[in-house]
Amino acid sequence: MSDARRPGARDLLAHVVDPGSWREWPAPQVAPTREPDAAYAADLAAARERSGEAESLIAGEGRVGGRRLVIVAGEFGFLGGSIGVVAAEILVAALERATRERLPVLAAPTSGGTRMQEGTIAFLQMVKITQAVAAHKRAGLPYVVYLRHPTTGGVFASWGSLGHITVAEPGALIGFLGPRVYEALYGAPFPAGVQTAENLYAHSLLDGVLSADELGRVAAQALGVLCGDVVGALPAEAAAAIVSRSDEEARSSGPAPTAWEAVTRSRDPRRPGVRALLRIAATDVTALNGTGQGESEPGLLLALARFGGRPCVVLGQDRRAQGADAPLGPAALRTARRGMRLAADLGLPLVTVIDTVGAALSREAEEGGLAGEIARSLADLVAFAPPTVCLLLGQGAGGAALALVPADRVVAAQHAWLSPLPPEGAAELIHRSTERAAEVAAAQGVGAAELAEAGVVDVVVAEHPDAAEEVEAFCGRVAAALAGQLADLAEVEPADRLAARAARFRAVGLRAVGLPAVGPQ
């Protein structure tokens, strides 16, 4: 690790907080259970003189990008940022006040962990700290973590690892067991390069590595979405008009494509995927990184974004990151389920984007629990409390696609499709010949128009004549359709929306086989 000076707590505030907005909260008065011995008292006095701080944490409120929030920042210059009873009380009191006043929290620890001079009582402070963080999150309030150099021990294993979003300072040493302790216990240095911010990001344990100069901008953008701000929203009527006008133009331009034509067009490598959609037609996009628990797959993108000014969490299957060597596996669905939990925690709308050639067929996928992840994804979505919109953007093959289907509304691109298998695979099973794939695609009703007729798709977004030929215009229409559905759903009572979601999927296919539609039992 570099020995270059790292920003102290007040240096960090100067980088992040809007000028003139910081207001420090007085530390709560805590009577220690026992007076410090002479050596510890001398350590405390020296720490106060050296750091200029009364304790290892400072807490207060300020504005970041104009947003009022609570910041708790560690000061490593005070006994290595260690946490004892008084520091823990500063943190817990700040979290409890943030919860009462319904403010988001930015936690910026830097610490060697528990204050050894206070022993087991200090160690147990991590329990009440975690309790306070959990209560803040249960209240539906954002909790963002910025890990600084160094962050180790009980701090990393409690309030440093519970963020809705977690980022870190470049080059920061971050780990459970500090390298000095490791070497003392095991007689050898900790393996080089493991406990670094960059390595943890590479292993999907962090969402980003940001300098203090970058933190304020990124935090303001992410918190705008996490707090559910609606900014310059496109009215639902205007969104619907954009989609309707495009649909009329498509109908007047000639016959609709066959199911097989749609399938072949969906496979065009020039066709825009979820990344193009976010780049061209979304705003305030903040990409998150994997499961946050050490897994990621490039074929599933997790991001915060706005469509038409409306905030949402996006779970998108990325067509360009999938292939024979990188099909969607169980880690992709675990990443998706992280996004579902994030959206559920904060009451944010969820947008799922389907565009996949299918799930992995491998030993690793089977042993990694692919089928179970599909089932759990379905179970999470059918009971998901906030509004949900599913976008069929391109290919939709198999269980990996089905796992993201349950939603209050389904939007489909004109050449998108959904099928238990790619049509060639279905043709092989039914006719023992892949050459009858076009026939099978038509018979199975895989296309957007057929799915709309069956009551599965609510809105079909036209392509003129193909998304690959008009990428920006197409992405704009898709974004308008999503914004319109999000606006509509915002006006529906949650209980009514959940009941309607259950009823729509309960009724799927009943009319096609001559049975009356029924409601949930």
Q: What is the DSSP string of 294-309?
A: S---TTEEEEEEEETT
Same domain, 219 and 253: no
Chain segment 11-44, per-residue pLDDT in tens = 999 999 999 999 999 988 876 667 788 999 999 9
Instruction: Look at residue 355 and tell me if it is in a domain.
Output: yes
Q: Looking at the structure, tell me whether residues 198 and 292 fall in a common domain.
A: no
Cα–Cα distance, 401 to 266 (Å, whole number): 14
Q: What is the mean pLDDT of residues 298-325?
A: 93
- Give the model's pLDDT for residue 1: 35
Span 359-387, pLDDT tens digits? 988 888 998 999 999 999 999 999 999 99
Residue 234 pLDDT greater than 90, yes or no: no
Q: Which residue has the higher pLDDT, 34 or 55?
A: 55
Burial 212-232 (b: 16+ CB within 10 A, else e): beebbebbbbbbbbbbbeeee
What confidence score (pLDDT) does residue 514 get?
A: 55
Q: What integer is the mean pLDDT of 38-59?
A: 95
Q: Is residue 452 within 8 Å of 429, Cβ to Cβ?
A: no
Q: Does residue 388 share a domain with residue 259?
A: yes
Asked if residue 520 is part of any domain, the answer here is: no
More confident residue, 56 or 238: 56
Is residue 155's pLDDT more than 90? Answer: yes
- Give a yes or no: residue 519 inside a domain: no
Tokens of 23: 């207001």
pLDDT(340) > 80: yes
pLDDT of residue 189: 85
**Contact in structure between 175 and 198 (CB atoms under 8 Å):** no
Confidence bin at 252 (pLDDT 50/70/90): low
How far apart, in whole angstroms, are the C-alpha atoms of residue 117 and residue 43? 10
Same structural domain, 243 and 221: no
> Per-residue confidence at 388, pLDDT binned at 50, 70, 90?
very high
Question: 366 and 449 share a domain?
Answer: yes
The pTM (predicted TM-score) of the whole model is 0.93
393 located within any domain:
yes
CA-CA-CA-CA dihedral for 116, 122, 127, 129, to nearest 10: -100
Q: What is the dihedral angle through the alpha carbons of 441, 325, 288, 312, rounded to the nearest 10 degrees?
A: 0
**pLDDT of 95 over the 90 cut:** yes
Residue 299 has pLDDT above 60, yes or no: yes
What pLDDT is recorded for position 323? 76
Measured distance CA(283)–CA(335) in Å, rounded? 22
What are the DSSP calls for 38-92, one per residue?
A: HHHHHHHHHHHHHHS-SSSEEEEEEEETTEEEEEEEE-TTTGGG-B-HHHHHHHH
Instruction: Specify whether 194 is located in the same domain as 242.
Output: no
Radius of gyration of the chain (CA): 26
Is pLDDT of 47 > 90?
yes
Judge if 65 and 94 occupy the same domain.
yes
* Model pLDDT for residues 180-198, shown as the tens digit of each residue: 888 888 888 888 889 999 9
Q: Are 283 and 191 in the same domain? A: no
Q: Are 117 and 86 in contact (CB under 8 A)?
A: no
Question: Do 177 and 245 belong together in one domain?
Answer: no
Instruction: Return the residue matching tokens 């939990």.
Output: 341
**Per residue in 136-147, pLDDT tens?**
999 999 999 999
Question: Nearest CA to 61 among 111, 101, 32?
Answer: 101
d(CA 291, CA 302): 9
The CATH number of the domain where 118 resides is what?
A: 3.90.226.10
244/381 same-domain check: yes
Beta bridge partners of 108: 73
Average pLDDT, the chain: 92
In this structure, what is the dihedral angle of CA atoms 29, 32, 37, 41, given to the nearest 10 degrees?
A: -20
pLDDT for the residue 2: 34
Average pLDDT of 258-276?
A: 95
**Binning pLDDT at 50, 70 and 90, where does residue 440 land?**
very high
- Read off the pLDDT of each residue in 322-326 and give the average, rounded to a whole number: 78
Tell me the C-alpha distance between 499 and 513, whole Å.
23
Give residue 133's domain range.
Answer: 9-226
> Does residue 292 lie within any of the structural domains?
yes
296 has a pLDDT exceeding 70 = yes
Q: Is the pLDDT of residue 254 over 70?
A: no
| Between 466 and 191, residue with greater pLDDT | 466
Q: Check whether 518 has a pLDDT greater than 60.
A: no
Q: With pLDDT > 90 as the criterion, what percentage of the chain qualifies?
A: 81
User: Do 80 and 111 meet the contact criterion of CB atoms below 8 Å apart?
Assistant: yes
Q: Is residue 483 part of a domain?
A: yes
Number of domains in the chain: 2
Predicted local confidence at residue 256, as pLDDT: 77
